[in-house]
């Protein structure tokens, strides 16, 4: 069926005929730079009164209706065009790696009915899109879900713990978890504590990988990221339950192609919404890099990490820990909008711990030196009541990097006297929350655990 550009719910007042969304077209326009022709797939318009198509390079082009000269249909709906995926072949002598698919941009395509990026790949499709990984390892794949990472909760961490355990029990040398980038670093921390929170190491490598650009875009980082993750899972060193190496994050090192970083799962965070090198270290260092030289990926270990592995003895476990799905941890941001009422309301809902992202070295609005901010005194009293109720109150920093040091200023010392926790920690804010959840789930003393370095999340030698 054809629709015209004069339909008000679609594109406006022009009488140029266009096919349904999803068809491949050639469009001739007279725009800012004169007359030009584009080929692409019709999407929902980016704005009323416009026509939008996805170009072959992965980018979208939009033009006002009155700039359209002609639209010619080239083929039917792109989504309907499918190819059969070949079965994966086993090759003697190669390591065995299982890809556990959860969703995210790395496993996404454009839905040409809506124009949105959606998780659509089956695991076999993911492998078929990047055949180079079949030269690195024997791949098998399971689909745990098709989720965007902002929907992932502790029950999904437990499913991943089970899935990684099953992979190792079945003889896999390593595991790759495809995951959306927005909470990739939180899940990686959860995997680290599950496998190495007791000072033990998993039987093989676990690599979490995502991408900032979907695989049907010309600027996609999906291919190099996945190749690097598979290479690490297949041929990386045996994890040593140190430096957050039980589950690593594999992403681009820069905005350019050619190098991916192997980041510790407890010491990395997404710090940019769109850049391909969005993941950066937090009070940690990369464990290794994957360099692509003449299209051949090569692992280059960090020398300090290599030394640490050689000097560390550890036990391998086949029984990772789980997370209680009933644990509730409240988080607050220190600043002018932190009030007693919000703290008390949360406490009334039965939280087991409170984390406050403090300013600077870990400070909270609890003083009123000018007698003009009674709200601060109320916050101080509310937090004191929490401590008296045996609810752990942990301070981390909005600065992301750097230590929590409550010895520098009198306010920090006051916070310690109140019983607030966190002093001396260099654990990243997100890993701190996961660490508390791990402690609560496994009947550990939160105050004691926070001061420890369980699996590379709190290495005080990295303090500046």
Burial of 303 (0-12, 13-18, 19+ CB in 10 A): exposed
Catalytic residue among 173, 182, 221, 405: 182
Q: How far is CA 286 from CA 4, 183, 365, in A?
A: 54, 19, 35
HSE-up of 83 (CA within 13 Å, CB side)? 8
Tokens 């260092």 belong to residue: 285
Question: Does 182 participate in catalysis according to the annotation?
Answer: yes
Residues 441 and 448: their CA atoms lie apart, in Å, by 15
Burial of 424 (0-12, 13-18, 19+ CB in 10 A): middle
Do 144 and 161 meet the contact criterion of CB atoms below 8 Å apart?
Answer: no
Catalytic residue among 178, 221, 266, 270: 270
Q: What is the 3-state secondary structure (H, E, C) of the chain?
A: CEEECCCCCCCCCCCCEEECCCEEEEEEEEECCEEEEEEEEEECCCCCCEEEEEECCCCEEEEEHHHEEEEEEEEEEHHHCCCCCCCCCCCCCCCEEEEEECCCHHHEEEECCCCEEEECCCHHHHHHHCHHHHHCCEEEEEECCCCCHHHCCHHHHHHHHHHHHHHHHCCCCEEEEECCCCCHHHHHHHHHHHHHCCCEECCCEEEEECCCCCCCCCCCCHHHHHHHHHHHHHHCCCCCCCCCCCCEEEEECCCCCCEEEEECCCCEEECCCCCCCCEEECCCCCCEEEEEECCEEEEEECHHHHHHHHHCCCEECCCCCCCCCCCCEEEEECCCCCCHHHHHHHHHCCCCEEEEEEECCCECCCCCCCCCCHHHHHHHHHHHHHHHCCCCEEEEECCCCCCCCCCCCHHHHHHHHHCCECCCCCCCHHHHHHHHHHHHHCCCCHHHHHCCCCCCCCCHHHCC
Question: Does 200 participate in catalysis according to the annotation?
Answer: no
Catalytic residue among 52, 164, 181, 259: 181
Question: Does 105 participate in catalysis according to the annotation?
Answer: yes
Catalytic residue among 52, 105, 187, 200: 105
Question: Does 270 participate in catalysis according to the annotation?
Answer: yes
Active site residues: 105, 181-182, 270
């Amino acid at each position: 069926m054809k629709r015209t550009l004069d339909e008000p719910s679609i594109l406006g007042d022009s009488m140029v005929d266009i096919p349904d969304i999803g068809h491949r077209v050639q469009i001739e326009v007279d725009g800012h730079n004169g007359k030009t022709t584009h080929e692409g797939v019709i999407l929902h318009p980016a704005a009323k009164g416009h026509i939008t198509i996805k170009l072959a390079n992965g980018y979208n082009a939009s033009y006002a209706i009155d700039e359209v000269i002609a639209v010619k249909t080239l083929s039917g709906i792109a989504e309907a065009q499918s190819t059969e995926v070949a079965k994966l072949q086993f090759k003697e002598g190669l390591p065995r790696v299982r890809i556990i698919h959860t969703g995210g941009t790395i496993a996404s395509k454009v839905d040409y009915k809506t124009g949105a990026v959606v998780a659509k790949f089956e695991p076999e499709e993911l492998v078929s899109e990047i055949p180079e990984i079949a030269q690195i390892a024997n791949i098998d794949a399971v689909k745990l879900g098709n989720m965007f990472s902002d929907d992932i909760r502790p029950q999904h961490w437990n499913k991943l713990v089970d899935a990684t355990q099953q992979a190792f029990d079945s003889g896999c040398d390593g595991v790759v978890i495809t995951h959306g980038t927005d909470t990739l670093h939180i899940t990686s921390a959860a995997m680290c504590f599950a496998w190495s929170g007791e000072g033990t190491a998993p039987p093989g490598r676990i690599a979490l990988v995502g991408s900032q650009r979907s695989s049907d875009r010309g600027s996609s980082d999906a291919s190099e990221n996945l190749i690097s993750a598979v290479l690490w899972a297949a041929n990386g060193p045996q994890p040593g339950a140190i430096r957050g190496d039980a589950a690593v994050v594999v992403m681009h090192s820069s905005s350019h192609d050619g190098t991916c970083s192997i980041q510790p799962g407890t010491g990395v965070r997404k710090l940019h919404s769109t850049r391909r090198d969005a993941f950066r270290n937090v009070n940690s260092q990369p464990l290794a890099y994957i360099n692509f030289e003449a299209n051949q990926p090569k692992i280059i270990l960090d020398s300090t990490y290599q030394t640490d592995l050689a000097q560390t003895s550890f036990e391998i476990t086949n029984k990772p820990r789980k997370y209680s799905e009933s644990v509730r941890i409240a988080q607050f941001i220190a600043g002018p909008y932190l009030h007693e009422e919000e703290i008390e309301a949360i406490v009334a809902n039965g939280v087991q711990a409170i984390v406050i992202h403090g300013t600077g070295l870990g400070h909270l609005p609890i003083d009123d030196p000018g007698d003009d901010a009674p709200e601060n005194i109320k916050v101080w009293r509310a937090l004191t009541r929490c401590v008296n109720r045996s609810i752990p109150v942990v301070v981390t920093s909005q600065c992301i990097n750097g230590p929590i040091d409550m010895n520098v200023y009198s306010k920090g010392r006051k916070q310690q006297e109140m019983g607030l926790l966190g002093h001396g920690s260099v654990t990243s804010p997100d890993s701190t929350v996961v660490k508390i959840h791990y402690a609560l789930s496994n009947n550990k003393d939160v105050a004691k655990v926070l001061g420890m370095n369980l699996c590379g999340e709190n290495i005080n030698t990295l303090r500046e």
